[in-house]
Amino acid sequence: MAGEAWLDAVKFDERGLVVVIALDVLTGEPRMVAWANREALERTASTGEAHFYSRSRGALWRKGESSGNVLAVRSLLLDCDGDAVCAMVEPVGPSCHTGAPSCFFRARVDGAWREGARPLAMMERLEAALEARSKGEGARSYTRSLLEAGAAKIGAKLREEAAELAAAIESESDERVASEAADVIYHLCVGLLSRRVSWRAVLLELARRFGTSGIDEKERRSSPVG
C-alpha cells in the first residue's frame, strides 16, 4: 500500500525492531532512546504521541501512559542507512523514569561517570550560567550588577547594544556583526532572567509563528481589541 511506503523504508532488525532517539524539537536536547516495532511507528504517526516496544515485557507501550509525561511527536526522521529513527518531540514533564528531564544525565568527567549533568543546548547553557551568576556571592559579576540595577538599566543596555549591532550590520565586518549580536543576545537573556521568562517560552512563541506571515503577525498585534 502506498500509505505504508515510509514504513517499508525502515530497516527493522531480526527482532522486528528499530532504535528511536527522541530529541526536544525546540532545543535539540536528547530526551531518551527506546525501541519500536512497525506497529509502534504506525501508532506514533497516527496519534502524534510516541509509542515504543518494550523488549522486557514484549508489548507495545505509549510514553506517559502511566506517568502523564508524554512525548508529542512533531516529526520523524530516518537516518541514511534506514536503521535508526529520530523523533522530534515536544516533551511534557520529565522524560526519564528517574524523574530527570532527560535520560542522559551522566557525563564523563575525569574518567568516570558523574551524575547531575544535562545535555543542554547553547542557549539553555547560557540561561543556566546567568541564573548561577545571579545567585553567586562574593565574586564580582556583571550579570548580577545588571539584575540588581533593575529593568531601566537592562533596557538601556539592550538599546545601546542593539544600536551597535545595527551599525555593524550597516558597515562593519562579519566578525563585528557576530560579536555585537552576541552582546545583544547576552543582554536579552539577562532581561528575560529579570522577568523570569524562560528561553523555552521564547522558542515556543517563535514556533507558534511558523506558517504565519510576519506582516499578518504585526497587524494582529497592532489591531485594537474589542
pLDDT of the chain, 226 residues: tens digit per residue: 446 789 999 999 999 999 999 999 999 999 999 999 999 999 999 999 999 999 999 999 999 999 999 999 999 999 999 999 999 999 999 999 999 999 999 998 889 999 987 778 889 889 999 999 999 876 789 999 999 999 999 999 999 999 999 999 999 999 999 999 999 999 999 999 999 999 999 999 999 988 766 556 566 656 655 4
Q: What is the CATH number of domain 122-211?
A: 1.10.287.1080
C-alpha cell at 26: 525546540
C-alpha cell at 33: 532512546
85 in helix, strand or coil? strand
Please indicate whether the domains covering 2-91 and 122-211 agree at the CATH topology level. Answer: no
Rounded Cα–Cα distance for residues 38 and 18 (Å): 9
Q: Which residues pair with 224 in a beta bridge?
A: none
The residue extents of the domains of the chain are: 2-91, 122-211
- CA-angle at 126, arms to 123 and 130, nearest 5°: 145
Angle formed by the axes of helices 174-195 and 122-135, nearest 10°? 50
95 in helix, strand or coil? coil
Q: In CATH, which superfamily holds the domain spanning 2-91?
A: Phosphoribosyl-AMP cyclohydrolase (3.10.20.810)
Those residues whose C-beta lies under 8 Å from the C-beta of residue 14, and which sit 6 or more positions away, are: none
Q: Is 190 exposed, middle or buried (0-12, 13-18, 19+ CB in 10 A)?
A: buried
C-alpha cell at 159: 538599546
Rounded Cα–Cα distance for residues 223 and 30 (Å): 40
Q: Which residues pair with 19 in a beta bridge?
A: 35, 84
C-alpha cell at 91: 516533551
Angle formed by the axes of helices 199-208 and 174-195, nearest 10°? 110
